[in-house]
Amino acid sequence: MPRPAAFPLLLLAALFFTACNPKVEDDRPGQPVKHRQEAFKALLRAIEPVGRMLDEAQYSAGRLAALNEALAKAREEPWHYYGPDTDYPPSKSRPEVWSQPEKFEAERQGFLTATDALLIAGSAEAARAAYDGIRASCKSCHNAFRR
């Protein structure tokens, strides 16, 4: 016989895991929401090593060129998956992406311009300034358009 306290505890544990695992799958054809989230994660993975290199004072033009190649691809990807009917769970995009498309596009352009600066950076200082500008542009768009 389980002790009387065991059952409510198990129930609580089950509720806890449910609350922490709100796994909503993108079940629409082509999975546009899933793909844009993966594209944003890839963008993060592309930019993180640049920050690490600069934080560790390990700037090298060759290494930056290799990282920039990945970034140049990653920065183009998430936007392909913003179709008109893609505002549904598990999306974390705010409805303003679709109701204020000019503002979203302005954020996107600001981000692309910020990354241009890294693509042409020729020194650790220029790379640092460009990197900080990029992170600011990620944040600016997230504040306005991400839940």
Task: Name the residue nearer to ligand HEC (CB basis): 34 or 124.
Answer: 34
Q: Cβ of residue 145: shortest distance to ligand HEC, in angstroms?
A: 4
Task: Name the residue nearer to ligand HEC (CB basis): 64 or 141.
Answer: 141
CA–CA separation, 113 vs 72, rounded Å?
12
Q: Cβ of residue 111: shortest distance to ligand HEC, in angstroms?
A: 3
CA–CA separation, 50 vs 47, rounded Å?
5
Task: Name the residue nearer to ligand HEC (CB basis): 59 or 133.
Answer: 133
Q: Cβ of residue 6: shortest distance to ligand HEC, in angstroms?
A: 36
Residue 135's φ and ψ, nearest 5 degrees, are -60, -35
Q: Cβ of residue 46: shortest distance to ligand HEC, in angstroms?
A: 8
CA–CA separation, 41 vs 78, rounded Å?
9
For 122, residues 6+ apart whose C-beta sits below 8 A from its C-beta are 61
3-state DSSP assignment of residue 93: strand
Binding site for ligand HEC (CB under 6 A): 33, 36-37, 40-41, 43-44, 47, 91-93, 97, 104, 107-108, 111, 134, 137-138, 141-142, 145-146
Residue 146, beta-bridge partner list: 93
Q: Cβ of residue 86: shortest distance to ligand HEC, in angstroms?
A: 8
Task: Name the residue nearer to ligand HEC (CB basis): 126 or 138.
Answer: 138
Task: Name the residue nearer to ligand HEC (CB basis): 126 or 144.
Answer: 144
CA–CA separation, 113 vs 133, rounded Å?
9
Closest to 133 (Cα-Cα) out of 54, 62, 63, 78: 54
